[in-house]
């Protein structure tokens, strides 16, 4: 393993020292989760956590996100560290003392810990500003859960200049506690929303021949889309089409006039994404035409493919091992089909997203409740490692451990 320029003990100690404040901030955010791009309570908590630090704060018109900028004594590279802030539309059922007070909103994806770790790293780096040979941007971002918050913050000009390197952590209860995991290249999928409406002619359920029943047409489209994926898309560039909702009809003896499908498309390359878009239109339109029905197909483009830069991912692996030993890093064998809007940042700057295992104490990471579960809980102690990792990655990338 190549020697790193930073002192590992400095950052591991800083992580441990910052843990109590991180736990307090995490719990405060967890108890008052907010959805979407407008998170006034969460942003206020972030501002309070950063109060008194030598940071330049930038805000934009599109979100309540902010970028806090720390300038080191030397004018060199710029590194961005990101933490997302929004919750999910979910009713919590964990029984935690700091459970959500907002019915229908829950931090079930660990974003509360992301904010707490990033704020802890900001304080630790500010206290050791003399070590920095450049600038660190701390990106506190709303709207990751489908709201394109990173894209809005880019469009608002908050990430200027584009950093030389970018780094993000994502907590996971389904990994061994304290272990970091990542991979160079494609890490996560693009995610698009599929909406299909079929219009026929309604009537009495006893006389389907006098109607044009949209329900069998919808069902045929669902099964045909699965065949399309297996027969028209290479298994080496996978796609997943999931129709998660079928909506039609009002009662048992009426054939409805129309019906709708709602689902998602996940792909790992822009080429496969384009092939799938074309195929979804062709399949739905062809089946509807065969039955004499009308069809409307809308595909909302979601987040792009998340692609880690090989060099930054390698730096993350070396940093994790230097901080916590050889077993602290695992290289993922394949991408995940989840999606991430940190992908917008990675389209602009070389960077990497890395997962941090946080299986709850006494739980089995292979079977405990996953991200997006209403029962998901985490081991908060791993936030000390997250703080240390953010700090060490920033110093290493600024100090020349990263060849760009």
Judge if 53 and 147 occupy the same domain: yes
Specify whether the CB–CB gap between 311 and 402 falls below 8 A.
yes
CATH assignment at residue 151: 3.40.630.10
Q: Which structural domain, as residue segments, surrounds residue 37?
A: 8-187+305-399
Decide if pLDDT at 35 tops 50.
yes
What gap in Å lies between CA 399 and CA 395, rounded to an integer? 6
- Quick one: pLDDT at residue 1? 45
- Quick one: pLDDT at residue 402? 84
Q: Convert the pLDDT of each residue in 376-388 to its tens digit.
A: 999 999 999 999 9
What gap in Å lies between CA 221 and CA 116, rounded to an integer? 45
Judge if 279 and 321 occupy the same domain: no
Judge if 274 and 378 occupy the same domain: no
173 within domain boundaries: yes
pLDDT band at 2 (very low <50, low <70, confident <90, very high): low
Residue of 391, 305, 373, 300 lying closest to 118 (CA atoms): 391
What gap in Å lies between CA 85 and CA 159, rounded to an integer? 17
HSE, CB side, 13 Å, CA atoms: give it for residue 192: 24
256 within domain boundaries: yes
Judge if 278 and 387 occupy the same domain: no
Classified as helix, coil or strand, 398 is helix
The first and second tokens of residue 63, run together, are 């979100």
- Average of pLDDT values for 23-35? 97
311 within domain boundaries: yes
E runs forming strands in 86-160: 135-141
Residue of 171, 170, 207 lying closest to 359 (CA atoms): 171
Specify whether the CB–CB gap between 110 and 175 falls below 8 A.
no
Structural domains of the chain, count: 2
Judge if 198 and 65 occupy the same domain: no
Judge if 172 and 62 occupy the same domain: yes
Contacts of 338 (CB under 8 A, 6+ apart): 188, 189, 191
Classified as helix, coil or strand, 364 is coil
pLDDT band at 367 (very low <50, low <70, confident <90, very high): confident
Q: Convert the pLDDT of each residue in 255-303 to its tens digit.
A: 999 999 999 999 999 999 999 999 999 999 999 999 999 999 999 999 9
- Average of pLDDT values for 245-262? 97
pLDDT band at 131 (very low <50, low <70, confident <90, very high): confident
- Quick one: pLDDT at residue 74? 80
What gap in Å lies between CA 224 and CA 297, rounded to an integer? 15
Judge if 49 and 18 occupy the same domain: yes
- pLDDT above 70 as % of the chain: 100
Decide if pLDDT at 54 tops 70.
yes
Q: Convert the pLDDT of each residue in 219-243 to its tens digit.
A: 999 999 999 999 999 999 899 999 9
Burial class (CB in 10 A: 0-12, 13-18, 19+), 103: exposed
Judge if 80 and 113 occupy the same domain: yes
Lowest-pLDDT choice from 182-186, 365-369, 378-382: 365-369
33 within domain boundaries: yes
Angle, to 10 degrees, between the axis of helix 270-290 and the axis of helix 214-232?
140
Identify the domain boundary among 300, 317, 347.
Answer: 300
Identify the domain boundary among 281, 300, 319.
Answer: 300
DSSP-assigned beta bridge partners for residue 353: 168
- Quick one: pLDDT at residue 364? 83
CATH assignment at residue 207: 3.30.70.360
DSSP-assigned beta bridge partners for residue 167: 81, 352
Judge if 108 and 201 occupy the same domain: no
Identify the domain boundary among 300, 325, 355.
Answer: 300
Decide if pLDDT at 343 tops 60.
yes
The first and second tokens of residue 301, run together, are 């483009």
404 within domain boundaries: no
Q: Convert the pLDDT of each residue in 58-67 to its tens digit.
A: 999 999 999 9
Q: Average pLDDT over the chain, rounded to whole?
A: 95
Q: Convert the pLDDT of each residue in 150-164 to its tens digit.
A: 999 999 999 999 999
């Amino acid at each position: 393993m190549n020697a790193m320029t930073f002192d590992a003990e400095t950052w591991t100690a800083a992580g441990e020292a910052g843990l109590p404040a991180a736990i307090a901030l995490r719990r405060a955010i967890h108890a008052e989760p907010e959805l979407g791009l407008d998170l006034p309570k969460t942003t206020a908590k972030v501002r309070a956590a950063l109060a008194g630090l030598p940071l330049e704060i930038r805000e934009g018109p599109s979100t309540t996100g902010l970028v806090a900028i720390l300038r080191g004594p030397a004018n060199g590279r710029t590194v961005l560290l990101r933490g997302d802030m929004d919750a999910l539309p979910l009713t919590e059922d964990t029984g935690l003392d700091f459970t959500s007070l907002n019915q229908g909103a829950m931090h079930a994806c660990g974003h509360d810990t992301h904010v707490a770790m990033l704020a802890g790293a900001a304080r630790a780096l500010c206290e050791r500003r003399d070590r920095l040979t450049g600038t660190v941007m701390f990106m506190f971002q709303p709207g990751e859960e489908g709201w394109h918050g990173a894209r809005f913050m880019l469009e608002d000009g908050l990430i200027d200049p584009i950093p030389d390197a970018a780094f993000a952590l994502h907590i996971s209860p389904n990994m061994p506690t304290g272990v970091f995991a990542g991979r160079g290249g494609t890490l996560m999928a693009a995610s698009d929303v599929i909406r299909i409406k079929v219009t026929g002619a309604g009537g009495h359920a006893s006389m389907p021949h006098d109607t044009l029943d949209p329900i069998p047409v919808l069902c045929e489209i669902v099964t045909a889309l699965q065949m399309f994926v297996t027969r028209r898309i290479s298994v080496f560039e996978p796609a997943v089409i999931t129709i998660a909702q079928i909506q039609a009809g009002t009662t048992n003896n009426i054939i409805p006039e129309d019906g709708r499908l709602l689902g998602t498309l996940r792909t790992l390359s822009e080429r496969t994404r384009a092939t799938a878009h074309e195929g979804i239109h062709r399949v739905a339109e062809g089946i509807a035409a065969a039955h004499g029905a009308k069809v409307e197909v809308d595909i909302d483009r979601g987040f792009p493919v998340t692609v880690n830069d090989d060099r930054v991912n390698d730096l993350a692996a070396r940093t994790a091992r230097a901080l916590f030993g050889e077993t602290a890093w695992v290289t993922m064998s394949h991408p995940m089909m989840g999606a991430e809007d940190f992908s917008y940042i990675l389209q602009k700057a070389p960077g990497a997203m890395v997962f941090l295992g946080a299986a709850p104490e006494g739980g089995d990471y292979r079977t405990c409740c996953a991200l997006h579960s209403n029962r998901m809980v985490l081991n908060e102690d791993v936030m000390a490692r997250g703080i240390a990792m953010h700090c060490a990655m920033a110093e290493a990338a600024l100090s020349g451990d990263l060849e760009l």
